[in-house]
Amino acid sequence: MSTDHATELHHPVRDELQLGEVLHALSDPVRLQIVQVLDRADGEVACGQFPLPVGKSTASHHFKVLREAGVVHERHEGTRRLHALRIDDLDARFPGLLATVLRAAAR
Amino acid sequence: MSTDHATELHHPVRDELQLGEVLHALSDPVRLQIVQVLDRADGEVACGQFPLPVGKSTASHHFKVLREAGVVHERHEGTRRLHALRIDDLDARFPGLLATVLRAAAR
DNA sequence: GGAATAGTTCGACGATCGTCGAACGTTGGG
DNA sequence: CCCAACGTTCGACGATCGTCGAACTATTCC
């Protein structure tokens, strides 16, 4: 059986996205790294897929920050949590912001 | 008499600018407000010119953060400190970043 | 020289942050 | 049913943050 658990995690809706929160979420090196991987993956990635330099509890914390800032969407699938960038919503609120940051981070 | 005091304050050079520091500097509402005023002013503005919701010591602190992140340039003129956005340097390191953030903040 | 102007520096404070490890769910497979 | 896999939650910790007021510095003007 599989119920939809995606709505159980509070994701802010598009209009609630705050620039300050997004910038703060992106200002941490670990979280920026996560966002970069997510961008390259161009799809959904599980937490374990990331070669992060921190323990799992810390990683879990960072994913929560990204989710609550509205940067990523999180979905439950079995024991894994799949994450994806909310590019559409971010681009609607802050056009070009994520792309610009990713390009800046890539160099 | 007037010596050049501009070099006494440590401004990071263009190549030293760190994306994380810049994003963190811009993630604070007061600092974002300063940057917005600076952008609209299109030139140099003294600290006192800003209608900030904080005391002068706090304002001084925020200007320091912006300066050390490389977002603004500070220059001494008499008793005043004149500030200006380092758009050229920022655009060289992180093309379009400041403009995108400012456009996002404007809405 | 003295007063006024414009900011900085210096603790201090409570709040938030990033990190960890241990314990706790939850799901899927033998 | 039990165990392994995958993450979350829960303190706890030291570090950083944003804020303030008081004292200080530097410059200008009378």
**pLDDT tens sequence across B68-96:** 999 999 999 999 999 999 999 999 999 99
Q: What pTM was estimated for this model as a whole?
A: 0.91
- Show residues of chain B in contact with A95, CB under 8 Å: 100, 103-104
Q: Is A82 helix (H, G, I), strand (E, B) or coil?
A: strand
User: Does position B4 have pLDDT exceeding 70, yes or no?
Assistant: no
SS3 content of chain B, % helix, strand, coil (to 5): 55, 15, 30
d(CA B71, CA A67): 28
Tell me the pLDDT band of A107, cut-offs 50, 70 and 90.
Answer: confident
User: Quick one: how far is CA B27 from the chain centroid?
Assistant: 13
Query: Which residues of chain A are within 8 Å of residue B102 when distances are taken between CB atoms?
Result: none
Residue-wise pLDDT for A3-60, tens only, equals 444 457 889 999 999 999 999 999 999 999 999 999 999 788 999 888 899 999 999 9
What is the DSSP code (8-state) at residue B51? -
Judged by C1' against the alpha carbon of B29, the nearest nucleotide is D18
Q: Does A32 touch chain B (CB under 8 A)?
A: yes
The arrangement of secondary structure in A15-105, i.e. its CATH architecture, is Orthogonal Bundle (1.10)
The residue ranges of every structural domain in chain A are: 15-105
Beta pairing, strands A80-85 & B45-46: unpaired
Residue of A24, A94, A96 lying closest to B27 (CB–CB): A24
Q: Which of B77, B4, B91 is nearest to B39 (CA)?
A: B91
